[in-house]
Amino acid sequence: MSRDEQLKERWGQVVEKLSSQFADGDPLDLDAIIYLIGVQELGQLDRTFKKDQKLDLMHIAICKLLTPYGYYELDFVDPDGWPHYKMLEALPHLKAGEQSVLMKEAIVNYFLETEFIN
């Protein structure tokens, strides 16, 4: 199986499992999955978030997802429990499709590491 086929298959597993768990089976899009990862990383699952906090959660997720690629590292966690990352290397200029593939690959790797999928 090629790398692209494997990514597509694993991405499908992630979408299917998360969609059934959080969206009554309606397929979640990439942004929704990034948001869920942000909530998971913050660890404050039993609360609602304002619009700006939702964007912050997505930022947390993106930083966490791109840490293994050497773009970010955890800097500190503030007194409210919010992680803060520092950029180690600027992200490369990617086309929209390339960005999507990078994020899907990072999400699949995240869920492989957490053993949510195999």
Mean pLDDT on 14-20: 95
Structure tokens at 79: 């007194």
CA distance 56 to 44: 13
pLDDT tens profile 44-69: 988 899 999 999 999 999 999 999 99
Residue-level pLDDT at 2? 83
pLDDT tier for residue 3 given thresholds of 50, 70 and 90: confident
**Residue 96 burial by Cβ neighbours in a 10 Å radius (0-12, 13-18, 19+):** exposed
CA distance 11 to 28: 11
CA distance 58 to 49: 12
Annotated domain spans of the chain = 3-113
Is the model's pTM score more than 0.85? yes
